[in-house]
Amino acid sequence: MRHAYITGTGSGIGRAVAVRLLEEGWKVTGLSRSAGPVHERYTHITIDLSDEAAVMHFVFPPLPDATRIVLVNNAGMLGHIAHTAQADAAQQATLFRLNVTTPVLLTGAFLRAYQAMPVPQVILNVSSGAGKNPVDGWGAYCASKAALDMHTRVVDTELRMSGKAHIRIFAVAPGVVDTPMQAHIRQSSPEQFSRVEEFKNWHHEGILLSPEETALKYSLVLNHPELFEQPVFAAKEIQTDQVHRFNTPIHQ
Ligand SMILES: NC(=O)c1ccc[n+]([C@@H]2O[C@H](COP(=O)([O-])OP(=O)(O)OC[C@H]3O[C@@H](n4cnc5c(N)ncnc54)[C@H](OP(=O)(O)O)[C@@H]3O)[C@@H](O)[C@H]2O)c1
């Protein structure tokens, strides 16, 4: 059985990845505050992932029937959009716990639980272009995604040094995806975020990616990590024909 742990299955990309993997026949455990998809192979754990103590208490259980195990660190927040002097300090602290501390802690716990098992394992961090390029009004968010990228690169280096070729880690930026996070961005003012009109136009023109097509690309990484050499990249680098050539057929 292929097992997936996905954070943030309540909406958006995380929910779409959960649905896609369930369609492919995986067993999925979702972690978020609101409920995930309803399916016989889906288990939901209700948890506030910005609560460090709750995250530290989470235990990855033994999976004796596993043929592949993956962790998708997807849950994230953009928080209060504002230039730094006006930013909400409490939300910035919560954002760092959710976007950085939690994936770092879960990655360590996942490796401790499963690294001795000789089955393919993938940790997929949902990164962002905002971790590579500065965006005004998104200071804490940009910094959190840059931190996630660097942690990914460090773990990738460690796995290669220790010869654990059966475990791969990636940070993959999805692009601009039509989710509640994008709706939140469009509600900001030009004073909070200078490019808000551009984001509204993209939405108006219907050029945002769907969570479902993003999930297809993430599924390819989870099923075929051997196709990807670099630990940090963007989903737009995955060609659509590559997705269709390699993607696992839907079982049910
Ligand atoms: N959409 C884009 O254009 C875009 C671009 C680049 C990167 N991303 C990244 O993609 C990831 C998913 O975002 P999305 O676009 O799909 O937005 P979304 O629909 O707002 O999803 C955020 C997910 O995170 C979960 N979450 C938020 N706060 C949480 C908390 N305290 N505890 C547990 N779970 C929490 C939410 O579930 P609950 O509310 O149920 O807890 C939800 O499932 C994020 O890491 C985001 O940074 C998105």
pLDDT in tens, 191-241: 999 999 999 999 999 999 999 999 999 999 999 999 999 999 999 999 877
pLDDT number for residue 252? 41
**Positions in the chain short of pLDDT 50:** 252
pLDDT number for residue 242? 81
Domains in the chain: ranges and CATH: 2-176+210-246 (3.40.50.720)
- Helix or strand or coil: residue 16? helix
Residue 98 carries which DSSP code? I
Pocket test of ligand 1: the residue of 33, 181, 184 to mutate, having most ligand atoms within 8 Å of its CB, is 181
CA of 195 to the centre of ligand 1 (A): 21
pLDDT number for residue 251? 55
Which tens digits make up the pLDDT trace of 146-167? 999 999 999 999 999 999 999 9
| Contact 6 CB / ligand 1 (< 6 Å) | no
Residue 65: exposure state from Cβ atoms within 10 A (0-12, 13-18, ≥19): exposed
> Cα–Cα distance between 138 and 82 in angstroms, integer?
7
Residue 88: exposure state from Cβ atoms within 10 A (0-12, 13-18, ≥19): middle
The whole-angstrom distance between residue 42's C-alpha and the CA centroid of its chain comes to 18
The whole-angstrom distance between residue 198's C-alpha and the CA centroid of its chain comes to 25
Query: Which residue of the set 5, 42, 114, 141 is catalytic?
Result: 141
Pocket test of ligand 1: the residue of 58, 95, 102, 177 to mutate, having most ligand atoms within 8 Å of its CB, is 177
* 42 classed as catalytic: no
- Helix or strand or coil: residue 68? strand
| Contact 137 CB / ligand 1 (< 6 Å) | no
Q: With a threshold of 0.85, does the pTM exceed it?
A: yes
pLDDT number for residue 246? 79
